[in-house]
Homo-oligomer: A and B are copies of this chain.
Amino acid sequence: MHSENPPPLASNDSRHERGLRALAEIDGEGGQKVVDALADIAPDFARYLVEFPFGDIYSRPGLATRDREIATIAALTALGHSAPQLEVHIQAGLNVGLSREEIVEVIMQMAVYSGFPTALNGLFAAKRVFAESSCETSHAK
Contact = CB atoms under 8 A, between A and B. Distances in A.
A41 B87 CA distance: 15
Contacts of A77: 75
A8 interface: no
Interface in A32-85: 34, 37-38, 40-42, 44-45, 48-49, 52-53, 56-58, 60, 62-63, 67-68, 70-82, 84-85
Given A52-B52, A72-B113, A123-B38, A78 B80 contact: no
A106 B71 contact: yes
14 contacts: A57-B108, A57-B109, A62-B101, A68-B109, A72-B112, A74-B74, A75-B77, A79-B80, A79-B81, A79-B113, A79-B117, A84-B120, A112-B115, A113-B117
Interface residues on A, range: 35 or more
A59 to B, nearest CB: 12
B41 A104 contact: yes
B121 A53 contact: no
Give the copy number: 6
A56 B48 contact: yes
A57 B42 CA distance: 13
A26 interface: no
A121 B82 contact: yes
A110 interface: yes
